[in-house]
Structure 1
């Protein structure tokens, strides 16, 4: 019976001592990792594969023309992405008045993205490149292809892990009105 009481007393003493080591001082130094957090809050830079122009991920994924926005996450080495790209390009050729689309690529070097653009011939929506891969992390994208549909106000309304068919996209757009 005496051992549990001694152990309990010891635990209480350690707890009190540990809480006394804290600081209520507002000028205390930042917690470890704070500088890394500040860096991760920096805008994710995107490069337009066709033009070389830069923008930020926030700008790329913000609808500005009163239309829904479809974000397609792709990778140059992905065979499914290579198959989807021409289909999505054809879809956008016919539907650019209804929806804006942007391709968000990562997971290799820019030269592979340029080759992807050259072989797929995408011209009806921008293929953007994120060398850091943060765009995927920020949007909880684990694998490609992956699609996210945002309404005209920028609210996420649909996710398609593994990509989406044109029929699925059409149905989702019809639901938005």
Structure 2
């Protein structure tokens, strides 16, 4: 699912660089596979992190892939999704958080 979504998430990140920051989180592969993923899928418009421990999943309540979590500017989680990346919902919430 990450390979399928990577090009769309990259385009989304590139299109909205001024509005929000996208961060990818790899957990299920080795560090070398994660580095290959970044190289193969050209995720230059967003930061990729890697967590072999899965502690990030536990802390954020992620139970399966694909998943997305949205944070406020102060790092507080706002909401999360399991399934396809919800571009319209992310943009709506980002606009609302900037308006307050």
Q: Where does structure 2 lack aligned partners over 5 or more consecutive residues?
A: none
Report the Cα offset of residue 154 of structure 1: 2.2
Matching of residues 81-160 of structure 1 within 5 Å: 81-160=2-81
In 2, the alpha carbon distance for the partners of 1:134 and 1:91 equals 27
> Alignment partner of 1:127: what SS?
strand
In 1, the alpha carbon distance for the partners of 2:12 and 2:95 equals 15
Corresponding residue to 2:85 among 144, 154, 164: 164
TM-score by length of 2: 0.84
Matching of residues 62-73 of structure 1 within 5 Å: none
TM-score by length of 1: 0.51
- Count of residues in correspondence between the two structures: 98
Report the Cα offset of residue 115 of structure 1: 2.1
Give the 4+ runs in structure 1 shifted more than 3 A: none
The superposition leaves residues 139-162 of structure 1 with CA deviations (integer Å, 9 ceiling, x where unpaired) of: 121111111111122222221112
The superposition leaves residues 90-128 of structure 1 with CA deviations (integer Å, 9 ceiling, x where unpaired) of: 111121111112111101211221221122111011111
Report the Cα offset of residue 170 of structure 1: 1.5
CA RMSD of aligned residues (A): 1.5
Larger Rg: 1
